[in-house]
Structure 1
Amino acid sequence: MMDFWTGGTMTKRSIAINLNLDEQNLQAIQEVVPDWDIYTGKDIAEENLNKAEILVHWRESQANKYVNSNKLKWVQSWSAGVDYLDLDHLQKNDIHLTSASGVHAYPISETIFAYMLGFTRLIHTYIRQQQEKKWYHANLKAEIHEKTIGIVGVGEIGKETAKIAQAFGMKVLGVRHSGRDVDYVDEMYTPSDLSLVLERSDFVVVTLPLTKETHHMFGKEQFAQMKNSAFFVNIGRGSIVDETALISALQQKEIGGVGLDVFESEPLQSDSPLWEMDNVIITPHSAGATEYYTNRVIQDIFIPNLKSYLVKGAPTINVFQHNLGY
């Protein structure tokens, strides 16, 4: 029996999806829960948000409409990071939370190498010169092959990045909480050994979630430990990096350059020195964007979780662990 009895009447269970979902994915969900109501769209009515048992894509602009709902049992985040959510509220009210972790492995790993290749082969410099109609070699000489990459946070994105790095003949160093070995990573370390990785790496790539432990994990001390030719990439969360310390490291030439998709304050303020630096590549928190995003979230994560929820009362994929912060 899929319906709830409330005060002598039968109430249909429902899902609220805070975006305009295409017909194919909507139908795929409806086939799993044929007797449920499914509400979709960026401006779902407050009454439908309040009665939803499952919410897909928590929208900050509508948070006050459903944060106090006593019917909400599960939130499926549309992003891998969930630090923007009211995690204390979800934990206190025993509301399941699942993320979109794993969806971004291909597009973000491609973005990481776009930064690295762009910096190494001076593509960012040549684009600026093209705008000025300037023909200048700019002392191009670096290669990415056979260099050392340190990947801090070897989850799905980190593993895909390591796989591509191996194709370039790179030495791959990894950092993860458990320190367990991972395919395509030559040497694995724990966060306590971070300095060893930073000292050896020509490229340092951060793919971590934001937690209490990772907040400002990269600051003055960490940048000082890197090679002055090292290229630093952050596609995790902006607050993992002390931005003031990063700017200082660039100005003092303690590191060679950076590729940044995330920032402590977004959008990046127009007066930030990062905009004007020749050795900085900036993207507007777009590294995970892909034409396949919706299909991967719905087909690979949400629908399998929905089937588990119906049988077991709980999702099983990408379940947020409050004790770990991710």
Structure 2
Amino acid sequence: MTARKLLIAQNIDAAYVEKVQKIIPDWTIVTGKDKETWQKEAPNAEIIAGWKKGMEEYTLNRENAPLKWVQTWSAGVNNLPLDRLSSHNIQLTSANGVHAFPISETIFALMLGLTRKIHTYVRHQQTKTWDHSNLKFEIHGKTLGILGTGAIGRETAKIGQAFGMKVLGMRHSGKPEQYIDEMYTSDRLHDLLPECDYVVVTLPLTKETNRMLGKKEFQLMKNTAFFINIGRGDIVVEEDLIHALHTGEIAGAGLDVFEKEPLEDNSPLWNMENVIITPHTAGSTEYYDQRVIEDIFIPNLKDYLVDKSLSINAVDYNKGY
């Protein structure tokens, strides 16, 4: 009888593999993110942790492939073939929640950097320039608007309250959330934006959020407001954001995600003095693999083995997240 197979398409520490193997001692576990490894192993894998572009050919396009569950290594699932996974009744779970600490730290690094002009002073340091640069803003007591109030948004709200900020949130359901003073539904986005000194996007990319923020939305924001996007680049009409930054409709932006990545060399964003750019690294952390394996994958694996529903981060194909 052929052993059941788990493919972890990541390079993870042997200690985590051992923890998983103890739960499924009779399974074959294969690890490795290089294409040569997963290309060979994917056709026979019952579970794949860490979906890679191109895996569809070796799983969903093959008859009688044993694949039953995919655990992503990212919170977003918009790059996966969701329709095909759904049609094959493949269970899908994401890494949502792994990023709450590192991304909330990045959000405030960007907010504080822009507010206290740290990015400006770093540039001055390169040329040994001693210049005040009209520093005047502070975060304490301001209004923070968070678009998307999942684990990342909730942790961001918690930190915001530590700064004495008024925290507004936006989610589709409008359901109240801890640390958020007032919750808005997505159809009230235009009511929320004018109230905010900081607008932070932590939303997933779905049909509903695609190009949600454009010319009209930036016009509604205060000209002293800072815009932070760590969600997905396609949630924003990048051309309209560039215009808003160039004309002073908003004061500045901290951007970790873009419509096209890597950000093209000719993008005006690179040279804007009121913009801080990070290369889609907001979620990077020394604890990433540990959190995916121990907090999400292993608990779900235990349920999977006894035919229980996967309760942690199960993706709703209808919603796209």
Shorter-chain TM-score range = over 0.9
Asked if the contact 1:96/1:314 (under 8 Å) is kept, the reply is no
Aligned to 2:245: 250
Equivalent residue in structure 2 for 1:145, among 117, 140, 154: 140
Q: Aligned pair 1:277/2:277, yes or no?
A: no
Q: For residues 121 and 54 of structure 2, what CA distance do their matches in structure 1 show?
A: 41
Q: Supply the RMSD in Å over aligned alpha carbons.
A: 1.0
TM-score, L = length of structure 1: 0.95
Equivalent residue in structure 1 for 2:122, among 110, 121, 127: 127
Aligned to 2:53: 60
* 1:161 aligned counterpart, secondary structure: helix
Equivalent residue in structure 2 for 1:30, among 15, 21, 32: 21
Equivalent residue in structure 2 for 1:186, among 176, 181, 192: 181
Aligned to 1:4: none
Asked if the contact 1:13/1:53 (under 8 Å) is kept, the reply is yes
Structure 2 unaligned regions, length at least 5? none
* 1:108 aligned counterpart, secondary structure: helix
Q: Report the count of equivalent residues.
A: 317
Change (3 A) 1:94 1:229: same
Change (3 A) 1:120 1:47: closer
| Identity value in percent | 60
Per the TM alignment, residue 42 of structure 1 is displaced from its structure 2 partner at its CA by 1.8
Q: Aligned pair 1:286/2:295, yes or no?
A: no
TM-score, L = length of structure 2: 0.97
Q: For residues 289 and 254 of structure 2, what CA distance do their matches in structure 1 show?
A: 26
Q: For residues 231 and 45 of structure 1, what CA distance do their matches in structure 2 show?
A: 42
Asked if the contact 2:9/2:38 (under 8 Å) is kept, the reply is no
> Matches of residues 1-326 of structure 1 in structure 2 within 5 Å?
10-43=1-34, 44=37, 46-69=39-62, 70-326=65-321
Q: For residues 20 and 211 of structure 1, what CA distance do their matches in structure 2 show?
A: 29
Per the TM alignment, residue 112 of structure 1 is displaced from its structure 2 partner at its CA by 0.3
Per the TM alignment, residue 66 of structure 1 is displaced from its structure 2 partner at its CA by 2.9
Asked if the contact 1:262/1:285 (under 8 Å) is kept, the reply is yes
Structure 1 unaligned regions, length at least 5? 1-9
Q: For residues 185 and 71 of structure 2, what CA distance do their matches in structure 1 show?
A: 30
Per the TM alignment, residue 65 of structure 1 is displaced from its structure 2 partner at its CA by 2.6
Per the TM alignment, residue 61 of structure 1 is displaced from its structure 2 partner at its CA by 4.8
Structure 1 residues 32-54: Cα deviation after superposition (integer angstroms, max 9, x where no partner): 10100001112315342110000
Asked if the contact 1:13/1:36 (under 8 Å) is kept, the reply is yes
* 1:172 aligned counterpart, secondary structure: strand
